[in-house]
Each structure stands twice: as C-alpha cells, then as structure tokens.
Amino acid sequence: MSEIIRYDVNDQWAHSGMVEAGDFLFMSYCVGNIGQPIENQINGAFDHLSKRLSSIGLTLESVVKFDALFKNIWDIPIMKKVIKKRFDGKYPARKSIQTEFAG
C-alpha cells in the first residue's frame, strides 16, 4: 500500500481536512459564508474546496463526487446554477441530503 498522507489535521476535532491514499484524495466538509444567503454559502463551500485542492496542485476539475448537506432540500436548483458556473461542463457525481445539522 502507498503511503497515506493527511493534511489539515485538527487534533481538537480529531479529523483531517484531506487524506491522500494512493491516487485518491478524500476531503472532509467544506463550508463558507455561513449565515449568508444560500447561493453565497454554496460558492463559499466551493471556494473552500478549491483552496484545499490547490494547496496540493489540484483543481475543481479533479473532483469526481461530492455530498451536499442542505437544511432546505429545495435549494438544490441554486446549487445546480452554481455548479454550472464553477465546473464548466465537467460535472462531478453528487448526492444531496437534507439535515438539521446544516446551517
């Protein structure tokens, strides 16, 4: 097995922001613009994701799948609009989940 590399390790929360295992990169949650309108929050999450990816030489084009947590699942059309702008036709697979945890 290849070396497993952990980035953005947070001992207080007992998690890694990213874990590289072989040719795969696993990303923990990405958030941004909390408390702002949902479109700003979605863009903030993609900004956070993009910043983490760029720290190891990757871009949003490298994303193959993500999960999105929503307080209101009916905000998916807003996310779709943002994805069309941010991913330029190279769309990742995705799953959207409604949860009270999302803010």
Q: Could you tell me the pLDDT band of residue 26, with boundaries at 50, 70 and 90?
A: very high
| Residue-range domains of the chain with CATH | 31-98 (3.30.1330.40)
Burial class of residue 89, CB neighbours in 10 A (0-12, 13-18, 19+): exposed
pTM of the model: 0.88
Q: Could you tell me the pLDDT band of residue 21, with boundaries at 50, 70 and 90?
A: very high
- pLDDT of 38-79, one tens digit each? 999 999 999 999 999 999 999 999 999 999 999 999 999 999
Q: Tokens 């943002």 label which residue?
A: 82
List beta partners, residue 25. 20
* Contact yes or no for 27/7 (Cβ under 8 A): no
- How many CA atoms does the CB half-sphere of 18 hold within 13 Å? 19
State yes or no: pLDDT of 1 exceeds 90.
Answer: no
